[in-house]
A and B are shown apart, each in its own frame.
Chain A
Amino acid sequence: MTAVAPATVPVYTAPPWYRRAKTWQMVARYAVAVGLTIIFLFPVYWIFIMAFKTPEEVFASPPIWAPSSLQLNSFRKLFQDGEVISVWNSLVTAGVSTLVAMFFGTICAYSLARFRTGGNNLAIWIISQRMIPPIVIVFPIFMLYAALGLIDSFFGLIVLYTAFNLPYVIWMMRGYIEDIPLELEQSALVDGWSRWQMLWRVVFPMVKGGLFATAVFAFIFAWNDFIFALVLTRTEVTTFPVKVTSFFGQQQTFWAKIGAMSILGTLPIFFAVAALQRFIVRGISLGAVKG
């Protein structure tokens, strides 16, 4: 046996000018990315520190970029004046409407996906309901609610948010349910479970990620809603986005309160998204593939 000399493979080395150009390209990319991040995060930062500023610091010129101490006065005031209740109002309306929409929406979606309810067109019709711009229907709904005595009630807002979220939930959940292998469901049915038990024990666990992702988006929609809450509430169930605007006065704007309220209003969403992040990312990418 003769030893085989290792073949010399010429290693390609890029010329220096090319490597230099590459380096600069990377630097430029990162610079743009960092710049954009700063632009997007700055308002968040600004509202955040505003909540902790003293009134003098708020109006100081030149502006104070970092407050010298963290003042909790604004928060104390929100609680003392009872204005913080608006965050609770938001939690109740958004939370309950999300739960209701998720429950009924998932069942509807199952029916659409598995029993072909409504043929091919019902699903499209349902999602088309979601495409109506809220501004178009807000005044008719105001008239209706006024007639029904639903203005400024939890029930009224919850019904409205549920109605707006249902098409979205149905559409999304239908996609997730169609992805479940049919045999998993059939096997459970043969094994001795009823259709409802099977929904609970097979379909829900299989679409868990989709359920969470959809619920978060439905919750955020209700949470962010401004126009319905503005028109349909007065004093009893003012939600947090509407409340914040009431701090803009004709004589005075309570910037510190605005900041503090915004923080309180952002935290629930922040925690929800942080906790369910992996489901949300997967949910979005699934939706993207299906189109």
Chain B
Amino acid sequence: MAKFLFVYRNDTDNMDLPSPEEMQEVMAAWGAWFDKMGDAIIDGGDGLMPEGKTVAADGAVTDGPFMEGKELLGGYSVVQADSLDEAVEMAQGCPIRATGGSIEIRQLAGLSDQQGE
């Protein structure tokens, strides 16, 4: 078993203000996805506020958000899977895809407990 970081990115072109009812539908979709992953979720993580700051190499501070293209970092989770392929398979079900968002999947560099033994 290895641990993977799921990094969620929203599509800023698709950021229409959802109605309260639509928000609840989105939340229900995430709930269903998490239910499906079940024990594979090590840490559900959290969402990120859209605003922030950056400290550059020279110490200069700039206001965020920090876009990579049209995508805005929206949150993260930590899951466990046997392989990167399995983690990718799980990420396919992520509701963020429905609104044009993406999921980046990265294996944590540290050995998980079982691998350490």
Q: Do the two shown chains form a genuine complex with each other?
A: no
Which A residues are closer than 8 A to B by beta carbons? none
